[in-house]
Amino acid sequence: MGFRALLLLAILGCQWGAGILQRRDDANIYEEQKELTAKIELLSCLEAKLNDTEKWRNDLNVLETRLNATIEELERQRAETNRLKEANEAMHDRMNATEEEIEKLKPNGGKAHPQVAFSVSLEESGEILKGPSTDTTLVFKRVFSNTGNGYDQITGVFTAPVNGLYYFTFSTYGYNTHLTGAFLMKNGVRQVSTYDHHSSDHSDSSSNAVVLHLVAGDKVSVELWEDARVYDNLNGHTTFTGFLLFPE
């Protein structure tokens, strides 16, 4: 084969090889571009996910801050609740102590105070001139009150239902023609009295009062002086009153 033919073949071979290489480079470039595009898309997706992650982390930080604030508020409220509970317990203890002191200060050791009181006058209708006689118990018929039923309207005697200190007062009224007055008696013993002798004036009135210590069953009454007279009508001139001050 001639030189020219060989040279031509060589030239043709080079051109054919270059063409093959060119086609191969174009395929590699396409694949590389495709791979690069895929990587870019992957990077974009990763970047988007990273941005989402950052957003979620920021949201999580916000939630954590709110949660911490809520926990602090709950702790503050718990401390305040405990403080109020302690204050309430202390107040409850003081109230109980005060109630106990009040019960101690109440008469009769904090028990129910017995109610004893009476008030009577000599005549319940019309008028009466009682006496003269010797140490006669006055029977007061007109009863204004008799709480505790200590006064006996039939005998004129008050009987103490409980132990304690009792207050008594009585009054007598009469005319100048006779001695006027009476004794307050405790178990038949004279305690205090009223007295007014007959004089030139038209009428006389006097009264007296006393506080007596009585035990249950003690009896208190009003008795005339010897040769004395007392008068009464619906105006209530001659009276007898008593009530319990402090029980024991």
- 112 lies in a domain? no
| Residues 147 and 182 reside in one and the same domain | yes
The string of pLDDT tens digits covering residues 149-178 is 999 999 999 999 999 999 999 999 988 778
**CA neighbours within 13 Å on the CB side: how many for 119?**
4
| Residues 23 and 101 reside in one and the same domain | yes
Residue ending a domain, among 105, 135, 159, is 105
The pLDDT of residue 97 is above 80: yes
| Residues 152 and 88 reside in one and the same domain | no
Q: Which CATH number does the domain housing residue 189 bear? A: 2.60.120.40
Residue ending a domain, among 105, 134, 161, is 105
Domain count, the chain: 2
Q: What percent of the chain has pLDDT over 70?
A: 82
> Dihedral through CA 26, CA 29, CA 30, CA 35, nearest 10?
160
| Residues 82 and 127 reside in one and the same domain | no
∠ CA 42-46-52, rounded to 5°: 145
Please state the φ and ψ torsions of residue 44, each to the nearest 5 degrees.
-60, -40
The pLDDT of residue 105 is above 70: no
* Domain residue limits at 136: 117-247
The string of pLDDT tens digits covering residues 4-56 is 555 555 555 555 555 554 555 667 777 777 777 877 787 778 778 878 888 88
Residue ending a domain, among 74, 105, 136, is 105
Structure tokens belonging to residue 148: 């505790």
On whether the CB atoms of residues 106 and 114 are closer than 8 A, the answer is no
Confidence of residue 242 (pLDDT cuts 50, 70, 90): very high
Better pLDDT: 112 or 232? 232
| Residues 3 and 69 reside in one and the same domain | yes
∠ CA 189-206-201, rounded to 5°: 130
Amino acid identity of 124? E
Spatial separation of the C-alpha atoms in residues 199 and 4, rounded to whole Å: 194
